[in-house]
Amino acid sequence: IADNIKSMAELAKTNDIKVVISSTLPAYDYPWKPGLKPAGKIVALNRMLKDYAEQNGHVYLDYFSAMADERNGLPKKYANDEVHPTKLGYEVMAPLAEAAISEALKN
């Protein structure tokens, strides 16, 4: 996943497109395939994405910190299935995305 995101960021930068790299949303488990325990993997992926963004002058958009619960999952108030955002989840995400895009356009 990280390598694919890095490739897309490099292509964008090569074509003078501003890059915003967002965190992966928190997920404690996936209801369609229980037991995968993705939370720790998502935390590690987000650390890699943040480091990459910082090292390459890209804006990092951190949805994870704003939305994660104590299990590093997505609370039901933000996602009925704890994976896909609800309207309230998107209401949390929208201003974060707007701020990140504005920041990217300044540079």
Whole-number Å distance between alpha carbons of 101 and 106: 9
pTM of the model: 0.93
64: phi then psi, degrees, rounded to nearest 5: -55, -55
Q: What are the helix (H) ranges across the chain? A: 2-14, 39-55, 63-67, 87-106
Q: Over the stretch 34-60, which tens digit does the pLDDT of each residue have?
A: 999 999 999 999 999 999 999 999 999
Residue 33 DSSP code: S
Mean pLDDT, residues 55-67: 98
Query: If you average pLDDT over residues 16-35, what whole number do you get?
Result: 96
Q: Where are the domains of the chain?
A: 2-106
pLDDT at residue 9 greater than cutoff 80:
yes
CATH entry 3.40.50.300 includes domain 2-106: no
Mean pLDDT of 74-97: 97
- Length of the chain equals 107
